[in-house]
Structure 1
């Protein structure tokens, strides 16, 4: 079944929809004929995207919500089901980055990335999934992990930790909905490779009291921005993800060959019990993937 056959006419709720892959997913969902609820902490970003989608003939609703706040996410779910309709697709996408050595990372920055990247996914699942289960109609939950969910990278430990956590959460949730007999619920993990976004520019670093710590953090930011220069267009990435989801795949990979190579390498390291090795970052070349 095609993505249009699967998703057209349904409601999609996408957190972190104001930019990057979240906005790409929203644009493609709208092009498929979905009503899109655009959720972000940046009111201006989602208001602008709503206007864009409506100008193109789509139906969209913008909503400001801090996914760190479980009450706010629950209120969002209640409002969507009351005012928009049952949700066919929930995308727990909101996320932030952090650069620097782990021992230099401010506690506030650690708490922030855990609260958004991990707790935000949990809050989304807890608020929306019971309603999706009760509706009794086919519905999809996508949780945003990353190629970083199957890799280890120095100077990005907090982010990598969150993406490993989201992947494990999603794998367990997939099993739990099967165990509970909710066969109409499809839980899938999204693992993007390099996709254009502003996550690296907006990422936090370390306190400026230690010049060496700041230099290390900013050098990693520069390396990630270099990778971004050759990254995939968010709408093109979204199209791949929607097609894989409609085909019933569990791991939704924006660049299948590229991300699969990281999965294979992770499996090799674990199976051989080899210690993580420092290596030069592989530059993403979209022409090869």
Structure 2
């Protein structure tokens, strides 16, 4: 079966749908014939995307939602099931970046990354999965990790930590769904994008010159390096098509650029197998990019 056979006619809920890979996933879900619920803290962005999809003959609802707030995510689930219908696909995508040395990172910036990238996924699972289980119909959960979820990268530690956490959360969730006996209709999948065009680097946090001794130049240099990589990154709509087809074929790890991400996985596995500590490359810069 292909992606249209599986997902067409269903409801997709996408957090962080206002830009980047989230918007690409929403547009492709619409092309497959799904009704889409567009959630983002940027209400204007998802309203514009809703208008675009509706103008193209699709069904879309936009909701401003801060995934850091469990009550807001619970309200998103309540409204979706009440006004749109049972969810066939939940995509926990919302995410932010952070640059700079870990010891220079403002506490507020650390909390922002963890609250959005990790707790946002947890809130999504907690709000939607019990309803999916109760519906007893086939349903999918995609949690957005990253190539950074299988890598070690200097000057992006909060983001990398968060994406390792999302991958572990998703792997554990898969086992728990199996243990509880719901894997006959609940499909949990981990998404690991490589370099996909988005505004995540422009919107990323950095370090403040007000913090004594903070190396602002290092943070800015890493941002510039990631922006340079973005120029050759994958189009979000192309990435979405790849992910939907992989999901339809039943894979657990969904990879936008299989060769690139598999290479990072292999390197990570070999480092763990041989107990090799992380090594700097190219003066500490990382030559891949996240979603």
CA drift of 1:207 comes to 1.1
Q: Which residue of 1 aligns with 2:242?
A: 240
Give unmatched runs, 5+ long, in structure 2.
none
2:201 match: secondary structure: helix
Counterpart selection for 1:218 from 217, 220, 230: 220
Deviations 1:153-172 (A, max 9, x none): 00000000000000000000
Aligned residues: 285
Task: Determine the C-alpha separation between the residues in 2 that align with 1:2 and 1:59.
Answer: 21
CA drift of 1:284 comes to 5.7
CA drift of 1:192 comes to 0.1
Kept in 1, the 8 Å contact 2:208–2:214? The answer is no
Q: Which residue of 1 aligns with 2:278?
A: 276
Kept in 1, the 8 Å contact 2:104–2:214? The answer is no
Q: Which residue of 2 aligns with 1:127?
A: 127
Task: Determine the C-alpha separation between the residues in 1 that align with 2:120 and 2:286.
Answer: 30
The 5-angstrom pairing of residues 148-227 of structure 1 reads 148-182=148-182, 183-209=184-210, 213-227=215-229
CA drift of 1:211 comes to 7.0
Task: Determine the C-alpha separation between the residues in 2 that align with 1:110 and 1:60.
Answer: 33
Kept in 2, the 8 Å contact 1:230–1:284? The answer is no
2:124 is equivalent to residue 114 of structure 1: no
1:68 match: secondary structure: coil
TM-score, structure 1 normalization: 0.97
Task: Determine the C-alpha separation between the residues in 1 that align with 2:86 and 2:274.
Answer: 46
Give unmatched runs, 5+ long, in structure 1.
none
Kept in 1, the 8 Å contact 2:11–2:85? The answer is yes
Kept in 2, the 8 Å contact 1:231–1:284? The answer is no
Task: Determine the C-alpha separation between the residues in 2 that align with 1:42 and 1:78.
Answer: 20
Kept in 2, the 8 Å contact 1:193–1:259? The answer is yes
Deviations 1:86-142 (A, max 9, x none): 000000000000000000000000011100000000000000000000000000000
CA drift of 1:212 comes to 5.7
1:142 match: secondary structure: strand
Task: Determine the C-alpha separation between the residues in 1 that align with 2:70 and 2:15.
Answer: 14
2:93 is equivalent to residue 98 of structure 1: no
Root-mean-square deviation over aligned CA pairs? 1.2
TM-score, structure 2 normalization: 0.96
Task: Determine the C-alpha separation between the residues in 2 that align with 1:170 and 1:284.
Answer: 22
CA drift of 1:282 comes to 6.1
CA drift of 1:78 comes to 0.7
Q: Which residue of 2 aligns with 1:77?
A: 77
2:278 match: secondary structure: coil
Kept in 1, the 8 Å contact 2:148–2:160? The answer is yes
Kept in 1, the 8 Å contact 2:153–2:286? The answer is no
